[in-house]
Structure 1
Amino acid sequence: MKLSKMLQSIGIDTSLDRDFEVKALAPLESASENEVSYIDQSKYLENLKDSKTGAVLIKEKDIKSVPAHIQPIIVPDPHLAFAKLSAFFAKDEFAHPLIEKHKTQIGENTTIMPNVFLGENIKIGKNCLLMPGVVISDNVIIGDGCKIFPNVVIYRESQIGNNVFIHAGTVIGSDGFGYAHNEKGEHIKIEHNGKVVIEDDVEIGANNTIDRAVFGETRIKKGSKIDNLVQIGHNCIIGEHTLLVSQVGLAGSTTTGRNVVMGGQAGTGGHIHIGDFTQIAGRGAVGKNLPPNTKWGGHPLMELDEWMKFFVTLRRMVKKKSE
């Protein structure tokens, strides 16, 4: 659909110097001339100069930062306008009945147990085991030597590497928790049109939820091990050989280096990076980027030695007060 038509349909009446068929919504750093991006925070304005995006949703006060090759679309709330536009690109979870269907490919020595549901155009490697109650949506790729335990659900376009174990009740590739809010306080859904990629030798515990990306991908890198009851938000990147203990929660766009360890119930805010070989003690609340080869704990987060001293001092104060 033409950009002008899309804007009109969501109530944005603006003149355009350049109209074009919109291929997709995309982030500034990877968008092409037939895609649309948005900026709702001034700190991202510097990314405009190197972007190849065709158009950008932007506030009027920031218009001078838009280069000549990008079509500006001035809106009061770029995040809200982006949410409304995302509905044009929402994908069906399963093939429409009128669309030509493609057969699933299953490798040798792979066992599909009873009551497994397989969508269309799925590729499953050799020596895999899919247990009862598994649901695999359309266009999913599963490598060799994988075990998918009962009642796992893998949403569309997810990619699973070799020798991956996914335990019972886990959901891979569901929508991230993303909404914009209008002037009435109503929540407008942001359609998540990306995917989840799980690399080789990953083990994922029971009742995990790993959300697909808004655009692009959520990625779990090689050799990572994830305990039960972990939530990984949209567009997170988990580095190689990372350990996430039970009830860890990672907000959207959290990234980690390799061999990160997060203790039980630790969590992050969004858009945070944790460096290589860094450790977070249980219930640690990460609200800032963390350098590599460090240890942290507590809330507010402190270096682990400092946190332990603080906790001991606090206990002494409480004990003294009660005497």
Structure 2
Amino acid sequence: MILQDLVEELGGSLVQGDPEWMVDGVNSCEKASAFDVAFADSDAAAAAGLGSNAGVVVLKPGAAKEYPRGKCIVESDDPKLWFAKAAKVLKKRSLSVGIAHSAVVAPDAKVDQAVVVGPCAVIGSHVKIGDGTHIGAGAVIGENVTIGLHCQIYPRVVIYPGATLGDRVVVHAGAVLGADGFGYVRDPASGAYTQFPQQGTLVIEDDVEIGANSTVDRGALEETRIRRGTKIDNLVHVGHNCDIGEHVILVALTGISGSSTVGRGAVLAGQVGIGDHVRVGPGVILGGQAGVFSGKTISNEGQRPGTVMFGTPARPLRQVLREQAMLTKLTNAARSGEKEETSKSG
């Protein structure tokens, strides 16, 4: 791809260099070649980038007083974001084409011609798969599943019957989408558990990414929905009937119990635990290992923007730190008292 086309697509300004320069990919300053893009978002990084072998360097405006001759320079207000978008544009697609001989595709499945289906994948009855989608080796796509355009389904993903995926969805290896939720009704007389019906649906909207070995359950009677642009890390569990808002971040080992909602732009860090029927408001940030009890609502109301909620029950980090400091003082005072009593008795 020529540099001028990349700049026109992503924005920024080409302030030096050949607009016809060929660009093959992105790389770090240390490993970049003449056909790679590197980025710098600090003064130190700018010096490294300008001194590297990278043919194209993306910098903030005014990051350097002068630029080395022969190097292509793109100025952007957010070089890291520009670099990330360039990586997606320049990403090399798999060389495989068509449907592998060992794949099993139901006769009534609607698979567009540009779809790639890897070895030993299984495509069920009445499945619809859009143009440009890749289905990895050993993936299992259940009956009546719909997958949109330009999705990437990595090896060994399992998508249960009836799930719907939008466009440009990425699902990493081992993820399971649309399994039964963990819902049971207990017989008080016998103590036996009977499964509550798990016959709802799962909807994954456009531009969602789901990490390796993560699981998202279908709704019990209605739906579970992961909204546009949300990014889910590895080893995350989302229970049945949940509604995860747009552009949410769910970090590894987070667990969200059934019938909970997470508002737009919220961030749930590693090992966050969410009880059932919880409401996490838009933009809320829950720090690592934070917990929210069942039925509770947590929001940014009355808090400064960017406030991190921490601990269990989750509360502002400053409050947690004050509580810990007070606990330390009380503990030290108690120890001092014990020492005085011991010395008197001795």
Q: Name the TM tier (shorter chain).
A: 0.5 to 0.7
Say if 1:150 and 1:314 are closer, same or farther in 2 by CA, change over 3 A.
farther
Alignment of 1:1-323 (within 5 A): 103-182=108-187, 183-287=189-293, 288-292=296-300, 295-315=308-328, 317-318=330-331
Give the Cα–Cα distance (whole angstroms) in 2 for the partners of residues 277 and 242 of structure 1. 8
Structure 1 residue 314 displacement after superposition: 3.3
Give the Cα–Cα distance (whole angstroms) in 2 for the partners of residues 118 and 150 of structure 1. 13
What is the letter of the counterpart of residue 303 of structure 1?
Answer: P
Say if 1:147 and 1:322 are closer, same or farther in 2 by CA, change over 3 A.
farther
Give the Cα–Cα distance (whole angstroms) in 2 for the partners of residues 117 and 268 of structure 1. 34
Q: For residues 296-320 of structure 1, give each alpha carbon's deviation from its aligned partner in whole angstroms, at most 9, with x where no partner exists.
A: 1101322222012223433455566
Q: Tell me, yes or no, if the aligned pair for 2:120 and 2:137 is still in contact at 8 Å.
A: yes
What is the letter of the counterpart of residue 300 of structure 1?
Answer: P
Q: Which has the higher contact order (CA 8 A, sep 6+)?
A: 1
The aligned counterpart of 1:82 is none
Give the Cα–Cα distance (whole angstroms) in 2 for the partners of residues 319 and 127 of structure 1. 64
Kindly report the root-mean-square deviation, in angstroms, between the aligned alpha carbons of the 2 structures: 1.7
Q: Tell me, yes or no, if the aligned pair for 2:197 and 2:221 is still in contact at 8 Å.
A: no
The aligned counterpart of 2:3 is none
Give the Cα–Cα distance (whole angstroms) in 2 for the partners of residues 319 and 167 of structure 1. 49
Q: TM-score, normalised by structure 1?
A: 0.66
SS state of the match for residue 172, structure 1? strand
SS state of the match for residue 125, structure 2? coil
SS state of the match for residue 180, structure 1? strand
Say if 1:145 and 1:186 are closer, same or farther in 2 by CA, change over 3 A.
same
SS state of the match for residue 270, structure 1? coil
Alignment gaps of 5+ in structure 2:
1-105, 337-346
Q: Tell me, yes or no, if the aligned pair for 2:286 and 2:314 is still in contact at 8 Å.
A: no
Structure 1 residue 321 displacement after superposition: 6.0
Alignment gaps of 5+ in structure 1:
1-100
Q: For residues 110-149 of structure 1, give each alpha carbon's deviation from its aligned partner in whole angstroms, at most 9, with x where no partner exists.
A: 1001100111000000111111110010000000011111
> Which 4+ stretches in 1 moved above 3 angstroms?
292-295, 312-323
Give the Cα–Cα distance (whole angstroms) in 1 for the partners of residues 271 and 226 of structure 2. 19
Q: TM-score, normalised by structure 2?
A: 0.62
Q: For residues 42-68 of structure 1, give each alpha carbon's deviation from its aligned partner in whole angstroms, at most 9, with x where no partner exists.
A: xxxxxxxxxxxxxxxxxxxxxxxxxxx
